[in-house]
Amino acid sequence: MAEKQHLNVALIGQGFMGRTHSNAWSQVRKFFKSPVTPVMHTSYGMPQEEPQVFAQKWGWQNVSTDWQATVRSAEIGLVDVVTPNHLHATVAKAALAAGKPVSCEKPLSDNLADAREMVELARLAKVPTFVWYNYRRCPAVAYAYKLARSGALGTIRHVRAFYLQDWADESVPLIWRFQKEVAGSGSHGDLAAHVIDMTRFVTGEEIVEINGAMFETFIKQRAVLTKVSGGGIAGGTQGDARAMAPVTVDDAVLFICRFEGGAVAHFEATRMATGNQNRNGFEINGTKGSLKFNFERMNELEYYDATGPRGIQGWRTIMCTHAPDHPYADAWWPDSHGIGYEHAFTNTASDILRVLGGQEPVVPIPDFADAFKTQRVLEAVTLLAQEKHCIRLDQVK
């Protein structure tokens, strides 16, 4: 058998996403028969991040503290961007200028103008681009996509989507996720972006109008960051309570909108929903059936078939671990031996390699142009929320 084509990957950034991507690249060929074999060639980190320690732990062959030189290197075949949001565009544009395929963490950028430029440069460079909206690659979500495409839901009427976490209490200092100049937004870009993408993906419809939006920042100031360690969402962080600085992003966002097929929708995202560690998902109601998904039970999809006799209609829980019926399931464990968060990233890495090897992905993977559509929704919600249209009840006579 001919040796598989090899692809040298450069990881630009470390942190939480650096860990998830590194894990995906290290195990993807152990589980998937990819047409391309990834080589974990180089990881970039700032000197204060101890990049040598990160590279050795996660299996990168080389270490860089100069990302510009790394993305220009003739040895690199794919640039994988996991920096904070405000650097996505800078790194991606440099990689595209060097003619390199680029995979980028979500959201595409921290602002719409940079995202639009990224799309145009990718078009001109004529190289593949990818955005790691990893929840598309949960087998249950991918199967929901297939059910919706089969017509099982009929005409979609209502969409409800949510992303609820509870980690951002007063004890967390002013990490980059709370700073607009770095993150672009708070729960909106970090969390709502995921469920916007998921519902666009499953329904096959675009959001065409935003009818109402609200942002709220509950904690106005946080302790200035003094130390970062670890790789969780907030890292292992310490702050100086004597030195406080303003939070410049939202803690929570809610908006209502309409999809192109006429469905009305409600979206909610927050980092302060006590008791919800990573509860994200949707309920989609159609004329023939409905679907529910909650990532905290990620191997399950709930389906309501309204086409049978009324007397036996009811919600059924589908365990989406059965090969070959459920996407990606045949790469992992026996039926009902569940998978977890990390596996969606490995599934994503597999589909990236399939595309780079000239094959179709298992389900569509967003490129920069696709991810721009989610970015545009984020921007529209932000603009409407800034207008602060509201009616106080004491104004209603």
Domain ranges of the chain: 5-134, 139-297+299-339+367-384
Residue-wise pLDDT for 356-386, tens only, equals 999 999 999 999 999 999 999 999 999 999 9
Residue 340 reports pLDDT greater than 60: yes
Residue 220 reports pLDDT greater than 60: yes
Task: Residues 5-134: name the CATH superfamily.
Answer: NAD(P)-binding Rossmann-like Domain (3.40.50.720)
Confidence of residue 231 (pLDDT cuts 50, 70, 90): low
The reported pLDDT for the residue numbered 230 is 61
Residue-wise pLDDT for 62-96, tens only, equals 999 999 999 999 999 999 999 999 999 999 999 99
Question: Using H for helix, E for strand and C for coil, what is the string for the chain?
Answer: CCCCEEEEEEEECCHHHHHHHHHHHHHHHHHCCCCEEEEEEEEECCHHHCHHHHHHHHCCCEEECCHHHHHHCCCCCEEEECCCHHHHHHHHHHHHHCCCCEEECCCCCCCHHHHHHHHHHHHHHCCCEEECCHHHHCHHHHHHHHHHHCCCCCCEEEEEEEEECCCCCCCCCCCHHHCHHHHCCCHHHHHHHHHHHHHHHHHCCCEEEEEEEEEECCCCEEEEEEEEECCCCCCEEEEEEEEEEECCCCCEEEEEEEECCCCEEEEEEECCCCCCCCEEEEEEEECCEEEEEEHHHCCEEEEEECCCCHHHCCEEEEECCCCCCCCCHHHCCCCCCCCCHHHHHHHHHHHHHHHHCCCCCCCCCCCHHHHHHHHHHHHHHHHHHHHCCCCCHHHCC
Residue 172 reports pLDDT greater than 60: yes
The domain 139-297+299-339+367-384: what is its CATH number? 3.30.360.10
The reported pLDDT for the residue numbered 4 is 61
Residue 160 reports pLDDT greater than 80: yes
Residue-wise pLDDT for 1-48, tens only, equals 234 699 999 999 999 999 999 999 999 999 999 999 999 999 999 998
CA 281 and chain centroid, separation: 12
The reported pLDDT for the residue numbered 2 is 39
Domains 5-134 and 139-297+299-339+367-384 share a fold: no
